[in-house]
Amino acid sequence: MNWIPVHSGLPVVAESKALRQLSQAMAASPDELIQTLIELGVQLCRADTCGLSLLETTPEGDRIFRWTNLAGTLSAHVGGVTPRDFSPCGVCLDRHAPQLLEYPSRLFQYLNGVDVPIVEALIIPLVPIGDDPLGTIWILSHHEERRFDSEDVRMMTSLAEFTSTALRLLRSKEVERAARMEAEAQVAQRTSALRRLSISLLQSQDEERRRIARELHDSVGQYLTGLKLNLSRLNGAEHQPLTPELLAECLHAVDECLTETRTISYLLHPPLLDEAGFASAARWYVNGFTERTGIRARLDLPPELSRLPRGIELTLFRILQESLTNVNRHSGSQAVEIHLNVDAEGVTLQVSDFGHGIPAEKLERFRQMGTTGGVGLGGMMERIADLGGELKVQSNGHGTVLTATIPLPLTGSLNSAA
């Protein structure tokens, strides 16, 4: 590295060349801007060592200065530390002014640990703004014939201003980089969660199809088989008259087929939801849930609940279905409470059980990533998110409380379906 003879009567030329170097460093490698400034300190002031010390707090709570950047004779000591309250840099910050120290190791004896003696030290405070990091920039002379003067103070004060600006720029870049990485991580998590949700949804659809097929086979199929046998006995059987008992048996089979078909159809999508609204559909479903499972269910609805927008009513009903299914399959609870509240801003559906709760790791995964590994809660959250709402789940060893909040459209009316 060639020294620029600042004190040879050409300071303007030297500073102009330094500014060009700074511009090139900022354009080509802004992450190396601080080191470029430190190297310029060696050149412009014909110093033996130039360094940057930044104040930090250790995990143990001690405040120290760390030599984050070095150039020149002591460059191998980068990363070294000195105490905040007993050091040349500490004195500089306490006095808020440049400090010129001769043989600083006489007072700060730990400086004798460096490789060469320090004849003179010029320390300049940085100019922080707001919560910028505190610190100093400094130059050292290791030879008796090199002493610093007011021109060196001027040069180093300019470098201190540049360094403060560079630190602020780098910190902004770090904040931006951290924010971008966090956003990318969230996108990756969200994508992974949606992928798992899609797989779970397909599996759930297959399971639901198997359940419907099994119910059709075990209920409607059996009644149709019996009906066919009875009709076969009558077909071409002259000695087999149509008795009242045989007719009644056929009519009963037809009635049961109709009942089972209607039940399956209602469970898939109850006509009451379209015809009378969420309140009627919820009462029908909750009553049927208690009959099918033996779990006591208490439904608390507003006394005069008007129709809600159709999309909200459908979402509320699917959340109610999924919540009660989870209570029956997973909670072990013998009772469940359902509360619906509607005000001018939105509608809130809360389902509470008194079972053993959701495992902590699944609940945490849902809060962090929006999925528990199944389609239930993740599907609910997606439905609610599409309407601009929010899903909250609280769970412990005494039960689970699921709260779904959906805003009402500003132009919507509670007195008519959308």
> Residue 24 and residue 13: Cα distance in Å, rounded?
17
> Residue 81 and residue 68: Cα distance in Å, rounded?
9
Which helix H or strand E contains 390, and what residues bound it?
A: strand 390-396
Where, residue-wise, is CATH 3.30.565.10 in the chain? 276-418
Domain 6-180, classified CATH 3.30.450.40, yes or no: yes
Q: What is the CATH number of domain 276-418?
A: 3.30.565.10
Check: CB of residue 302 under 8 Å from CB of residue 341.
Answer: yes
Burial 158-192 (b: 16+ CB within 10 A, else e): bbbebbbbbbeeeeeeeeeeeeeeeeeeeeeeeee
Q: Report in angstroms the alpha-carbon separations of 13 from 42, 249, 283, 350.
A: 16, 112, 88, 76
- pLDDT tens digits in sequence order for the chain, 418 residues long: 333 333 443 455 556 566 666 666 555 555 677 888 888 888 888 899 999 999 999 888 899 999 999 999 999 999 999 999 889 999 999 998 999 999 999 999 888 888 789 999 999 998 776 666 689 999 999 999 889 998 889 888 888 888 887 787 777 777 788 888 888 888 887 777 777 666 666 666 666 667 666 766 667 777 777 777 777 776 655 556 667 777 787 788 787 777 777 667 666 667 777 788 889 888 988 998 898 889 999 999 998 888 889 889 988 988 998 889 888 888 889 999 999 999 888 999 999 999 988 888 887 777 766 554 444 677 778 788 888 899 888 888 889 999 999 998 865 444 444 4
Where, residue-wise, is CATH 3.30.450.40 in the chain? 6-180
The two structure tokens encoding residue 70: 């070095």
Strands 335-342 and 296-300: parallel
Check: CB of residue 16 under 8 Å from CB of residue 8.
Answer: no
